[in-house]
Amino acid sequence: MMKKLFLLVGVVGLAFILLGVKPGSSLAQEKGKSGEPFVIGYIGNFSWPFAADASYAVDLAAEEINKAGGLLGRQVQVAKIDSKGQAPIAVAGYKQLIMNKGAKAVILGEGAELNFACQAAGAELYPEFPHLCFNATTSHEGLGLKVLNEYNKYKFYFRTFINTDLYRKGIMDWGRSIKRLMNPKTAALIIEDAQWTEYFRNGKAGLYPPCRDDMEKETGIKVVYYAEISVREKMFLPLFQALADKNPEWICYVSAYSDVTTFVKQWAVSPAKNIDLWDGGGPSTMPGFWGMSGGAALGLVTPIYSRAALSDKTIPFVDDLKKRYNKDSNWVAFGSYDSVYMIKAAMEKTKTADIEALIKALESIEMTGVYGIIKYDNTHTCKFGWPYMDFPYGEFQHGGELVIVHPENVAKATNPTKPYIPVKQLRQQ
């Protein structure tokens, strides 16, 4: 009997050691001591440049906060997990961060599939290990609907990004911007076939139609050519030939994971090369894309998470990330950095690290971040549309110069004397 008792004590003691907790103290006591580091976890696929570079944005925020005295006197400590793009690794890493590393917040630099997996894991952990989770990456509407429909289960989950519906509205804003800039009457709409574009392609019953119908209704631009393409597609020349035969004045390409580099290179030598092209994401969002495309990006308009004056914090953040770590910014970096500062704002408002109190504070706070003003709605998703969170779009002009063209107010604040130039005119210069 005594041997069994000693064995039980030994096992319990070993478990506490593995969790980083001293025997004789409760986990809550040990992890909640004033002055202990406040651990923020980051999970991303580090072979994906966007997630890898964004991890340094978390480091930058932590450094800045620590130099200013920390979070209620507690230094921020960053712990990172490389998911390798695999859901089982991401979930195991999530549990490791919360249970063993004592993380009180986790930032996800992951796509929709891995966000769903980690969101579910977090819901299981939350009753025993209260914590916060921030999605800085993906717009899938289902993630926010879980918060709305099962609040008590998923209230810990916040998205410092937008949901599919708001992204859809953002695409309509592209249409309004191109109308302002060159007033096209016709367009080609191309959408990548991926989980996150489900509602763009098919609409949502009772709420909104497919983007093709929305484009015509909301902007007055007639869609004369429509296509859906696989994210694995490498040959686009037949598409550009078919598109050019319809003679649209504008190409709207909704993408995030497609081979945009190849797409743009083939556009530049295709019969559609003089048709203005706006792209939604992927490698083209990197300032270095001009070099990656070999200059084929001339005239391309794409989201540029660079030196655009979304707020007075945007350009300093972009410059500091480059100076401190030699990393270019991207949308995951924007959202990751702002997520850390939302934690800071919530702790300063509540004067506590209590998670329930922080959740309530996060639901009410408006904070100026690098994305613009950050404000979560009832799905814990950011309000969208400048001066709230918005995406700056820039045009690659000669020499790879990026000229911000959207939103209009941001363009005026960033490069007031440099206009949008249609691609056909750029090619003639």
Predicted local distance difference test score (pLDDT) of residue 372: 95
Stated pTM of the model? 0.83
Q: What six digits make up the tokens of 164?
A: 């599919």
Looking up residue 197, the CATH number of its domain turns out to be: 3.40.50.2300
Environment class of 115 (CB within 10 Å of its CB; exposed 0-12, middle 13-18, buried 19+):
buried
> Which candidate, 326, 270, 275, 330, places its Cα nearest to that of 303?
330
> Do 43 and 171 fall into the same domain?
no
Alpha carbon distance 25, 123 (integer Å): 25
> Which candidate, 256, 259, 265, 255, places its Cα nearest to that of 233?
259
> Do 284 and 337 fall into the same domain?
no
Please give the average pLDDT of every successive group of 10 residues along the chain, which has 429 residues: 40 39 35 75 95 97 98 97 97 98 97 95 98 95 95 98 84 92 96 88 88 91 97 96 97 92 97 96 84 96 89 96 95 97 98 98 97 97 93 94 92 94 96
> Do 51 and 134 fall into the same domain?
yes
Alpha carbon distance 356, 342 (integer Å): 15
> Which candidate, 230, 402, 179, 184, places its Cα nearest to that of 303?
402
> Do 268 and 409 fall into the same domain?
yes
Count of other CB atoms within 10 angstroms of residue 72: 15
Predicted local distance difference test score (pLDDT) of residue 34: 56
> Do 267 and 332 fall into the same domain?
no
The answer for residues whose C-beta is within 8 angstroms of residue 201's C-beta and 6 or more apart is 191, 193, 210, 211, 228
Q: What six digits make up the tokens of 5?
A: 């008792």
Are the C-beta atoms of residues 276 and 221 closer than 8 Å to each other?
no
Predicted local distance difference test score (pLDDT) of residue 20: 40
Q: For 32, list phi and psi in degrees, rounded to 5.
A: -110, 10
Q: For 46, list phi and psi in degrees, rounded to 5.
A: -75, -5
Alpha carbon distance 260, 276 (integer Å): 15
Are the C-beta atoms of residues 312 and 368 closer than 8 Å to each other?
yes
Predicted local distance difference test score (pLDDT) of residue 277: 98
> Do 237 and 156 fall into the same domain?
no
Task: Kindly list the distances between the CA atom of residue 11 and the CA atoms of 5, 15, 23, in Å, as whole numbers in the listed order.
Answer: 10, 6, 11
The residue range of the domain holding 315 is 21-163+311-374
Domain assignment present for residue 2? The answer is no
> Do 115 and 203 fall into the same domain?
no
> Do 272 and 396 fall into the same domain?
yes
Alpha carbon distance 213, 230 (integer Å): 21
> Do 202 and 281 fall into the same domain?
yes
Are the C-beta atoms of residues 353 and 32 closer than 8 Å to each other?
yes
Single-letter amino acid, residue 395: E
